[in-house]
Amino acid sequence: MKTYHALSIAAAALFIGAGVQAYDGTNCKAAGDCWEPKPGYPAKLAGSKYDPKHDPAELNKNQQAVQSMEERNAKRLANARATGTFKFDVN
């Protein structure tokens, strides 16, 4: 990582000096995958000074909320089908 970092800083300096382009989105490592780190920035964030250090429990809250809503809606639908009357608050 360190070596890489030093190299990319050196490369960045060269680029600025020579006016060579940095990340311009046209060098693709696979179809639909053309991202490159900018000169001086890490390719992987984990362990770098830009590591977002996301809390896995927080990251899962979106999906949990959607699952709960889907379950409640399914109950509403089942109740409406069984009774012929729609009711929002179904336990």
Partner 1 sequence: MKAFQKGHPSQKGRLSGNANAASPRLATVACALRLMLAGGMLAGLSQTALANDELIRLAQDHKQWAQQGKDYDHSHYSGLTQINRKNVKDLKAAWTFSTGVLHGHEGGPLVVGGIMYVHTPFPNITYAIDLNDPNKILWEHKPKQDASVRAVACCDVVNRGLAYGDGKIFKTQLDGRVVALDAKTGKVIWEMENSDPSVGSTLTQAPLVVEDLVIIGSSGAELGVRGYVTAYRMKDGEQVWRAYATGPDSDLLLADNFNATNPHYGQKGLGTSTWEGDAWKIGGGTNWGWYAYDPSLKQLFYGSGNPAPWNETMRPGDNKWTMSIWSRDVKTGKAKFAFQKTPHDEWDYAGVNWIGLSEQVVDGKKQKLLTHPDRNGIVYTLNRESGNLVRADKIDPTVNVFKGYDMKKGVPIRDPEYSTRMDHQAKGICPSAMGYHNQGHDSYDKKRELMMFGTNMICMDWEPFMLPYRAGQFFVGATLNMYATPGNNGNMGQVKAYDVKTSKFKWTKDEKFAVWGGTTTTAGDLVFYGTLDGFIKARDADTGDLLWQFKLPSGVIGHPVTYEHRGKQYVAIYYGVGGWPGVGLVFDLTDPTAGLGAVGAFKELQKYTKMGGGMMVFSL
Cα–Cα distances in Å, from 3 out to 8, 40, 85? Answer: 9, 12, 68
CB of 82 to partner 1, least distance (A): 12
CA distance linking residue 50 with residue 15, whole number of Å: 23
Read off the amino acid at residue 20.
V
Query: Taking CB under 8 A as the criterion, which residues in 45-74 touch partner 1?
Result: 45-46, 50, 52-56, 58-63, 65-66, 68-70, 72-74
80 contacts partner 1 (rule: CB under 8 A) = yes
Among 2, 17, 18, 26, binds partner 1 (CB under 8 A): 26
